[in-house]
Amino acid sequence: FKNPMVLISTSTSLGTNDISASVTKAKLDTKYDMHDNTHMGQNAHSRIAGLEDWSFEFDVLQAFSTSQSITESGFNIDRLINTLKDRTSTGLNFMCTVRTQKGVARSSDNPEYQGLVVLETHTPFDAEVGDLLKTTISLLSADDLSRFSSSS
């Protein structure tokens, strides 16, 4: 897993905030609601998948400075998270786009995942004295997850 591309929008359009340089860990988790569809005559449970549930989780270098630019590692993540908190708390979602490697066209070897999300949880900071200041951001699905593997 190389330097991922992580774009987070403050609206439902394509991501405009490139936080890639600040991301130290990225995770995509998907699961399905499982329903029992066992019927008479079977010797074991039978199941069928229901709705998909997915989420992104990022560990990000935290920064509170207003002087840091979007191209610096440590982009003002706190300001972005507060905007995302406001959207989520007022019933609005936003777009998140992740590609496994930044700077490389999307392909079957470098797929891109994209979908509308809401801010589920975030930890404003988690560090001991002398550690890098990091924050964890968890984004929960608010619609279907799209996977793109052809060039954009």
Distance CA 144, CA 1 (A): 24
Most distant CA pair in the chain, distance: 68
- Residues 6+ away with beta carbon under 8 Å from 78: 62, 63, 64, 124, 135
Q: Quick one: which H or E segment has residue 20?
A: none
Confidence class for position 69, pLDDT limits 50, 70, 90: low
Q: What is the pLDDT of residue 13?
A: 84
Q: Band the pLDDT of 134: cuts 50, 70, 90.
A: confident
For residue 36, pLDDT over 90 is answered with: yes
> How much is the mean pLDDT over the chain?
88
pLDDT (average), residues 72-88: 82
Triad 146, 98, 89: Cα angle to 5°: 85
**What pLDDT is stored for residue 1 in this prediction?**
64
138 pLDDT above the threshold of 60: yes
Q: Is the pLDDT of residue 115 over 90?
A: yes
Identify the pLDDT of residue 128. Answer: 86
DSSP secondary structure string for all residues of 87-107: HHHTT--EEEEEESSTTS--B
Q: Summarize the confidence of residues 49-77 as an average pLDDT.
A: 76
Which of 7-16, 38-47, 143-152 has maximum average pLDDT? Answer: 38-47
pTM: 0.84
Residue 77 has pLDDT above 70, yes or no: yes
The CA distance from 97 to 145, in Å, is: 10
CB-based burial, 107-121: b 16+ in 10 Å, e otherwise? eeebebbbbbbbbee
| 25, two tokens | 């860990």
Alpha helices, DSSP H, located in 17-138: 77-89
Residue 11 phi/psi, 5-degree rounding, is -150, -170
Identify the pLDDT of residue 132. 83
